[in-house]
């Protein structure tokens, strides 16, 4: 079973206000926020305003409505500008509105006519409402045209609806660009700029040859136009994190050095953003502490060395600080291309054996526990791959039992599954205690980052790590490809 380590940090997302006074008694101070609301037909009940934290929805404030359905969201602290929404007593989202720097305005709404919400005292919300009504109508028309295109029964209809869809899309883009030009400093224009993706230009001809990569690099180089990564408003939108994921998926190489270059830039710029910086730091940490692709744990080590180890652990609670530090030190000794840490362990008949005494073109290390249910499935599968082909590749399996308390079960499993052709070893309790006294990170679990079982490594003839964190099927493909290359040399 794959185990994910989530990092929890000591960073307050939002704070609930206390029970609020009626709107007539609202604080007039321009400090903080004071949002009066009439929300019919709710009476003598609590309602909320919420916002986004990346892809997640969080509550930002609450107020108590009186018998006239009136209340006020207020606090001495300002809300982070962005997209917000009113939330019912039963926690359903009723409608969106904007929070900008001017946080003293009034909302009047009725649940029976949510298309007629009135907001006064906030020019940005008036722009937002007017633009939304117009653009939503255009998107509705575009959606109908696209559905008609899907259902077209002949080529003529298909061409008709396709052209109509392209024209409607062009109108939407023109409306958006016209709005931004007319209201460049508005919150709505800021949001539209964050949402935008650059359009791919035509493929140019250079010295008579088509440069097919030009559109890709153009989009990559302009993907974050009009976005500055220290702007806290970014995480108060529902689309910034999706755009971030799209960028890393489609426009950043899977090579760890390429990823490191991107995230180091983003985090360095974001440092002055009180909310965006920890958001990005922990998003990247959680992604690369258990990476999707082999070798990307190097990204996590970079995060630890260049950010956490330089003081950013103040964002962590004590338990998370300990976990992230130990995890980083566990990964440092077993990166791709490094020599595997020394392993001197005991055989089934308690003779000492060293990993570095094993002479083979490839050594496959399997760390497992005879009481682990997943190991009982994966270890026999490993043996099947070994007997079907790996043995012919001269692979030596160095099978390490990490549970010295279960020697009887371990030996029984070896006999039952006929694993005698492997080098079956374990670490004694005495040797483990010696390692523990030596300090972090010296134990086998720490040196080989064995935080789940089974854990596999593939080494070359010099005992350098050439593959890890793969499924057995992927290890098999890796070995087959490696041997095919050798055969072709």
Name the segment(s) of the chain with CATH classification 3.40.30.10.
344-488
- Three-class secondary structure of residue 210 per DSSP: strand
Give the E-state strand segments of 100-142 in sequence order.
104-110, 118-120
Rounded distance between C-alpha atoms, residue 408 and residue 384, angstroms: 23
Among candidates 297, 221, 295, 292, which has minimal Cα distance to 262?
221
Q: How far is CA 154 from CA 161, 246, 348, in A?
A: 11, 35, 74
Predicted pLDDT of residue 441: 55
Angle at 56 between CA 74 and CA 52, to 5 degrees: 35
Rounded distance between C-alpha atoms, residue 146 and residue 172, angstroms: 14
Rounded distance between C-alpha atoms, residue 181 and residue 93, angstroms: 31
CA 273 to chain centre: 19
Note the residue count of the chain. Answer: 489
Residues 6+ apart with CB under 8 A from 261: none
* Tokens matching residue 143: 């959606």
> Domain 23-121 classified CATH 2.60.40.180?
yes
CB-based contact 48:91 (threshold 8 Å): yes
Rounded distance between C-alpha atoms, residue 81 and residue 101, angstroms: 7
Q: How far is CA 281 from CA 261, 271, 309, in A?
A: 14, 10, 13
Predicted pLDDT of residue 18: 35
Tell me phi and psi for residue 395, to 5 degrees.
Answer: -80, 135
Among candidates 359, 285, 403, 352, which has minimal Cα distance to 7?
285
Kind and range of the H or E run holding 245? helix 240-250
Rounded distance between C-alpha atoms, residue 333 and residue 316, angstroms: 24
Among candidates 200, 165, 193, which has minimal Cα distance to 179?
193
Predicted pLDDT of residue 317: 82
Angle at 187 between CA 183 and CA 188, to 5 degrees: 70
Among candidates 201, 162, 161, 199, which has minimal Cα distance to 177?
199
Tell me phi and psi for residue 9, to 5 degrees.
Answer: -120, 155
Tell me the β-bridge partners of 52.
57
Predicted pLDDT of residue 319: 86
Tell me the β-bridge partners of 108.
38, 118
Tell me phi and psi for residue 251, to 5 degrees.
Answer: -130, 5
Residues 6+ apart with CB under 8 A from 4: 286, 290
Burial of 45-57, coded b for 16+ CB within 10 Å and e otherwise, reads eebbbbbbbbeee
Please write the tens of the pLDDT for every residue from 127-150: 999 999 999 999 999 999 999 999
Name the segment(s) of the chain with CATH classification 2.60.40.180.
23-121
Four-residue CA torsion sign, 381, 382, 386, 389: positive
Rounded distance between C-alpha atoms, residue 139 and residue 137, angstroms: 5
Tell me which architecture the domain covering 344-488 has in CATH. 3-Layer(aba) Sandwich (3.40)
Q: Looking up tokens 């016209």, which residue turns up?
A: 178
Tell me the β-bridge partners of 401.
368, 426
Give, for all 489 residues of the chain, the pLDDT tens digit: 333 333 333 333 333 333 344 433 444 446 899 999 999 999 999 999 999 999 999 999 999 999 999 999 999 999 999 999 999 999 999 999 999 999 999 999 999 999 999 999 999 999 999 999 999 999 999 999 999 999 888 999 899 999 999 999 999 999 999 999 999 999 999 999 999 999 999 998 888 899 899 999 999 999 999 899 999 999 999 999 999 999 999 999 999 999 999 999 999 999 999 999 999 999 999 999 988 899 999 999 999 999 998 877 677 788 888 888 888 988 888 999 999 999 999 999 999 999 999 999 999 999 999 999 999 999 999 999 999 999 999 999 999 999 999 999 999 999 999 999 999 999 998 888 887 776 645 688 888 999 899 999 999 999 999 999 899 999 999 999 988 877 655
Please write the tens of the pLDDT for every residue from 253-292: 999 999 999 999 999 999 999 999 999 999 999 999 988 8
* Tokens matching residue 119: 């907001």
Predicted pLDDT of residue 320: 85
CB-based contact 190:176 (threshold 8 Å): no
Question: Helix 297-306 crosses helix 256-270 at what angle (to 10 degrees)?
Answer: 30
* Tokens matching residue 312: 């950013």
């Amino acid at each position: 079973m794959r185990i994910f380590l989530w990092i929890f940090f000591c960073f307050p997302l939002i704070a609930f206000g206390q029970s609020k006074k009626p709107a007539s008694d609202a604080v007039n101070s321009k400090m903080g926020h004071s949002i009066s609301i009439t929300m019919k037909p709710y009476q003598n009940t609590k309602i909320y305003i919420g916002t986004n934290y990346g892809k997640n929805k969080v509550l930002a404030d609450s107020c108590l409505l009186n018998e006239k359905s009136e209340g006020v969201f207020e606090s001495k602290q300002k809300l982070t500008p962005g997209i917000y929404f009113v939330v019912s007593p039963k926690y359903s989202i009723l409608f969106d509105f904007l929070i900008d720097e001017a946080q003293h305005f009034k909302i009047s709404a009725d649940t029976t006519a949510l298309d007629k919400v009135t907001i006064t005292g906030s020019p940005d919300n008036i722009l937002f409402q007017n633009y939304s009504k117009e653009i939503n109508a255009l998107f509705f028309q575009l959606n109908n045209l696209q559905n008609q295109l899907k259902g077209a029964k002949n080529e003529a209809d298909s061409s008709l609806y396709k052209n109509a869809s392209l024209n409607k899309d062009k109108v939407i883009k023109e409306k958006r660009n016209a709005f931004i030009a007319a209201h460049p400093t508005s919150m709505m224009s800021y949001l539209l700029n964050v949402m935008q993706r650059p359009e791919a230009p035509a493929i140019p001809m250079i010295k008579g040859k088509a440069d097919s990569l030009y559109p890709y690099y153009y989009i990559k180089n302009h993907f974050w136009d009009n976005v500055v990564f220290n702007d806290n408003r970014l995480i108060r939108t529902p689309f910034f994190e999706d755009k971030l994921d799209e960028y890393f998926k489609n426009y950043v190489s899977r090579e760890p050095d390429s990823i490191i270059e991107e995230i180091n830039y983003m985090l360095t710029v974001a440092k002055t953003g009180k909310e965006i910086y920890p958001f990005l730091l922990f998003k990247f940490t959680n992604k690369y502490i258990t990476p999707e692709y082999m070798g990307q744990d190097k990204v996590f080590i970079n995060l630890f060395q260049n950010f956490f180890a330089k003081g950013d652990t103040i964002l962590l609670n004590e338990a998370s600080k300990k976990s992230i530090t130990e995890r980083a030190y566990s990964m440092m000794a077993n990166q791709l291309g490094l020599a595997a840490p020394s392993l001197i362990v005991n055989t089934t008949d308690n003779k000492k054996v060293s990993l570095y005494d094993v002479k083979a073109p490839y050594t496959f290390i399997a760390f497992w526990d005879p009481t682990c249910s997943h190991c009982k499935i994966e270890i026999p599968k490993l043996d099947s791959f070994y007997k079907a082909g790996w043995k012919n590749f001269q692979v030596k399996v160095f099978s390490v039992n990490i549970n010295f308390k279960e020697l009887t079960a371990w030996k029984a499993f070896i006999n039952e599954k006929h694993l005698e052709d492997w080098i079956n070893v374990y670490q004694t309790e005495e040797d483990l205690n010696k390692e523990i006294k030596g300090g972090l990170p010296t134990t086998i679990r720490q040196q080989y980052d064995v935080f789940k079982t089974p854990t596999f490594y593939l080494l070359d003839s010099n005992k350098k790590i050439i593959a890890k964190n793969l499924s057995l099927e992927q290890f098999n493909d890796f070995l087959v490809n490696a041997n095919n290359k050798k055969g072709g040399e």
